[in-house]
Each structure stands twice: as C-alpha cells, then as structure tokens.
A and B are shown apart, each in its own frame.
Chain A
Amino acid sequence: GAGVSQSPSNKVTEKGKDVELRCDPISGHTALYWYRQSLGQGLEFLIYFQGNSAPDKSGLPSDRFSAERTGGSVSTLTIQRTQQEDSAVYLCASSYRQGTSNTEAFFGQGTRLTVV
C-alpha cells in the first residue's frame, strides 16, 4: 500500500479484556512509532522501533502495554486488562532513517479505542 495502515479503525471493548492494535508501515521504512492521543490532547509517545535495534519503550504507561514488530515490518500494540482510561486514539507512524537523520514520518489513520 501507499501509506501507513492501521486496523481496526474502531474498537469497543469491555473493561478487563485484552486488545491488539495492528500497524502496517510504509514498505522500506525502518522506524515505527506508536502514539496515544486522548480527545483534544497531544501526541503521547509510547514506543519506538528502529531497524533491528532494541525498541525504546520509555513511553509505555504501564506493564499492561506491550508492542512488537515482526520482521522489521508489521507492528502490534497489545493492551492487557484494558481500563477506561485507555480509551483514546492510537496512532502509528513510520519513517526512513538516512544516515544520522530521519525523513518525514507518515501517520496511519489511527485506531479509536473505547473501553466500556
């Protein structure tokens, strides 16, 4: 595909259930980011993958959150035992690193998660 693709677009889940959010980055992009955006708020950094390096997990808000990136491409963000405060739009972005600098990051359309 031409852009970053996220699925599902919307997810409603019951409190306490686990959810998986998927991100398909642009082919060839080495960097992949996950952000969380609550209604009317900013882009909260969650986790960053760069090539084969260990991911930067410094933004994950609790141990209920985890993410993996298989084969340097598709990424899955997993939230265990969801809570109402997890309700937000989860955005994925990817970019390509050239030398010592990254190029433009492109965002997916996001997954709107609602925990009821």
Chain B
Amino acid sequence: GENVEQHPSTLSVQEGDSAVIKCTYSDSASNYFPWYKQELGKRPQLIIDIRSNVGEKKDQRIAVTLNKTAKHFSLHITETQPEDSAVYFCAEVDSSYKLIFGSGTRLLVRP
C-alpha cells in the first residue's frame, strides 16, 4: 500500500546550522508533496510544498527538492533558529488523491 518513510526521527542542530529531513514514497503516480510543521500543542501547518513537475522550490530559509526517479524528496532549512524547533511531517498525495504523512521528525535547534 501507500507508504511514506521519513528520516531521521529526531534531529538536533546548533543554531545557525542547516537541517535536512528526507522522505521516500512508493506511489510513482503521486504528484504533490507538502511539508507541515507542528509546534507543541498546535495543529500542523503547511510550510512549503512541491509538485511533481518541478525539482526544487525555495522560500527564504526553506527549500524542498524532489527526485521523481528515485522517489524521494527532502526539506532543507538553512540558518536554523530556535523557533524552527518543532515536529516536521512530509506527505504525499497519492494516485487516489489521499494525503499520507510520514512519521515525523522532531527538530531541536540549540541556542
């Protein structure tokens, strides 16, 4: 069935360093890949997304890359700040338009 694998499960970086989170998917027909950030006690919110017709997308300190051939996509956060600390979820919309999430990455940015 549909599956999104996400790594690592936890990530600790020093403020100012970069953070990278990687996901793989199995449905080759998937065409939409959003990333959500969930702060403690709050609902998940979209931070960036990418569609299958592009390979990279940037928004200030955040970027996402997509490799359709290898079926993996990654989130890159540069110049990390303490407020980036949260749980990040990758997701895919599969061929049945169902939104499936990865298991999440808990990011801690140390001041």
Contacts and interface: CB of A to CB of B under 8 A. Distances in A.
A43 B89 contact: yes
B101 A102 contact: no
B103 interface: yes
B43 A91 contact: yes
Interface residues of B, number: 21
Q: Which 9 A-B pairs have the closest CB atoms?
A: A107-B43, A43-B101, A42-B103, A42-B104, A102-B93, A104-B46, A48-B98, A101-B32, A107-B44
Nearest to A100: B31
Interface of A: 31, 33, 35, 41-43, 45, 48, 50, 56, 58, 91, 93, 95, 97, 100-102, 104-110
Contact of A108 (B1, B43, B104): B43
A61 to B, nearest CB: 15
Contacts of B45: 107
Interface-central residue, B32, B99, B104, by most chain A CB under 10 Å: B99
B68 interface: no
12 contacts: A33-B98, A33-B99, A43-B89, A48-B99, A58-B1, A93-B99, A95-B99, A101-B31, A102-B32, A105-B34, A105-B46, A105-B99
Interface string B46-73: 1001010000000000000000000000
B49 A104 contact: yes
Contacts of B32: 101-102
Given A101-B31, A101-B32, A101-B51, A43 B97 contact: no
A77 B34 CA distance: 25
B7 to A, nearest CB: 13
B46 A45 contact: no
Contact of B96 (A56, A104, A107): A56
A50 B102 contact: no
Nearest to A43: B101
B13 interface: no
Nearest to B51: A101
